[in-house]
Amino acid sequence: MNFAQSEVTAQVAQIARDFAERNIRPHVMEWDEAQHFPRELFREMGALGLTGVLVPEKYNGAGLGYEEYVHVLKEIGKVCGSIGLSVAAHNSLCTGHILQFGNEAQKEKYLPLLAGGEWLGAWGLTEANTGSDAGNMQCTAVKEGDEWVINGTKNWITHGISGDVAVVVCRTGEPRARNNSTAFIVERGTPGFSGGKKENKLGMRASETAEMIFDNCRVPDSQRLGEVGQGFVQAMKVLDGGRISIAALSLGIAQGAYDAARKYAQERHQFGVPIATFQGISFKLADMATEIMAAELLTLQAANMKNNGLTMTKEAAMAKYYASEVAVKTANEAVQVFGGYGYTKDFPVEKYYRDSKLCTIGEGTSEIQKIVIAREALK
């Protein structure tokens, strides 16, 4: 594998970096404090190809690969984890599911709107009582003639209120039976489909997380994604790519926290010298730098395998698991480097600290990643 960054990748990373510095950084704490989700930002990102990174050009996308996608999320995550999370959910989950499993008519209808940022995507798998136990989901879809009637609630959904279209995985068979779920595309405005409670979160506060409620919501069979009973199988394949995105987001958060800590350690003087000269601080910075690089290599390996059409379930889980844990550890150590100042909202590391924790939970907890890694390693 060649780890040298191509000219295209470097240009894409620069576009994301410039956009984040210009349009996101000035508002980071304002949006965080108010839990404001800046919907209009995604239309601006759409014009730059950042909401359709992996979508082919014929569907109005950027037509890029996972390496470029990793760098987009890393650059945005360095500035604001919340916006990075929303970019990841929009690209990898909703848009990615339609791209990977939609028929041509579905792709032609939805991908240009999603890739251009005109529409925002949501993806519904998780429920209140069935997080990792997705085979026991209670949100059901029942066939009536040429329509499906959906009833139930999805929880912890990014863009659950603001999303213009959602891919929702519903149980269409008996609980815990094999092949018991099916995916559907549901547009906002469809009778019986509404947004519910918005979560008041520790971190990622500018990324909207909310319920999606379905009350006798009728969708035509033409909105079904793939074959009946294949919803969970599809979701697991979508999550393989999604875990690369969370690994990339984790990298961004870790890098942002490290950069802030390194800068502060060089500027903060005690006993007449920068605190970076103290072994206790310099060793922290050394550990951060090493672990971030290791996490990046794991993430790029998974991205490279995905680009080449290789099975990368284990590698994506490894990248997501390790990078997310590194993000939490790095942010924690960054707060320690700042000392008392790190515990205040006047400095950036407390937000990195709060945002980082979600990366160890969303799209499969660290414990679930270990199960996946162990299962794959023991085959």
What is the distance between the alpha carbons of residues 123 and 115, in angstroms, rounded to a whole number?
Answer: 15
Apex 343 CA angle, 340 and 346, nearest 5 = 100
What is the distance between the alpha carbons of residues 143 and 274, in angstroms, rounded to a whole number?
Answer: 68
Residue carrying the six token digits 């009946």: 228
Q: DSSP of 7-67, one letter per residue?
A: HHHHHHHHHHHHHIIIIIGGGHHHHHHHT---HHHHHHHHHTTTTSTTS-GGGTS----HH
Give the number of C-alpha atoms closer than 13 A to the C-alpha of residue 300, restricted to the C-beta side: 16
Specify whether 68 is catalytic: no
Point out the catalytic residue in the list 67, 363, 367, 376. 363
In angstroms, how far is the first alpha carbon of the chain from the final one? 24
Mention every residue, 6+ apart, whose C-beta is less than 8 A from residue 334.
257, 258, 260, 261, 288, 342, 349, 352, 353
What is the distance between the alpha carbons of residues 353 and 363, in angstroms, rounded to a whole number?
Answer: 19
Q: Do the bridges between strand 224-225 and strand 181-187 make them parallel or antiparallel, or are there none, so unpaired?
A: antiparallel
Give the number of C-alpha atoms closer than 13 A to the C-alpha of residue 188, restricted to the C-beta side: 15
Give the number of C-alpha atoms closer than 13 A to the C-alpha of residue 202, restricted to the C-beta side: 10
Catalytic residue set: 363
